[in-house]
């Protein structure tokens, strides 16, 4: 647990602690087998006889409570030793500096991740706006084309219904005046 690999990797630390807990449990079981050899044999015989279920349960509880006490004692001893091993890290200025560097790097990585997400969201928003603009432009072009077509049809209808409009309106010539009276 004192290695850099274990200190800097929570998964390694968790695996080590799990293994230690398993060892503590096995050590407690071995201690129970040493302390209660006759009781364990009696318990095995009582388990076969249904009339002895009550006595077997009481004996089992007594053994399990002793096992729990042993596990608690061993765990307390382990934690004491772990504190002794890890307390040396607090006084090491290089370890403190390295821990600070790791914290700063983690904060920088988080900032970059957040900025990347914001940039991605902005790009998505721009793409959506561009799509909407294209749709609006297509709709507007379709509307203008329809208006042109309608105007063209109306001109055609008017030109066919009033063919001699030019003959009905007298032509007016605008004289150009020279001089001051304009």
Tens-digit pLDDT profile for residues 109-162: 999 999 999 999 999 999 999 999 999 999 999 999 999 999 999 888 888 887
Q: How far apart are CA 158 and CA 170, in angstroms?
A: 19
Query: In the predicted model, what is the mean pLDDT of the chain?
Result: 83
**pTM (2 decimals)?**
0.45
Q: What is the pLDDT of residue 150?
A: 92
pLDDT category at 165 given cuts 50, 70, 90 is: low
Q: How far apart are CA 70 and CA 31, in angstroms?
A: 8
Residue 12 has a pLDDT of 84
**Spatial contact of 46 and 59, defined as CB atoms under 8 Å apart:** yes
- DSSP label of 164: T
The confidence score (pLDDT) of residue 177 equals: 53
Strands (E), 17-108: none
């Amino acid at each position: 647990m004192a290695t850099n690999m274990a200190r800097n990797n929570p998964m390694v630390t968790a695996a080590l602690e799990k293994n230690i807990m398993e060892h503590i449990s096995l050590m407690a079981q071995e201690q129970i087998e040493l302390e209660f050899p006759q009781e364990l044999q009696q318990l095995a015989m009582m388990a076969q006889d249904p009339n002895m279920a009550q006595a077997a349960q009481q004996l089992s509880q007594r053994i399990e409570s002793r096992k729990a006490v042993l596990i608690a004692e061993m765990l307390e001893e382990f934690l004491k030793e772990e504190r002794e091993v890890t307390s040396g890290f607090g006084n090491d200025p290089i370890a403190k500096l390295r821990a600070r560097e790791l914290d700063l790097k983690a904060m920088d990585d988080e900032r970059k991740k957040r900025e990347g997400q914001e940039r991605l969201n902005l790009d998505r928003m721009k793409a959506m706006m561009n799509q909407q603009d294209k749709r609006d432009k297509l709709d507007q072009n379709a509307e203008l084309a329809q208006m042109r077509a309608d105007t063209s049809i109306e001109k055609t209808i008017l030109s066919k219904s009033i063919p001699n409009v030019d003959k009905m309106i007298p032509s007016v010539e605008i004289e150009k005046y020279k001089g001051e009276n304009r």
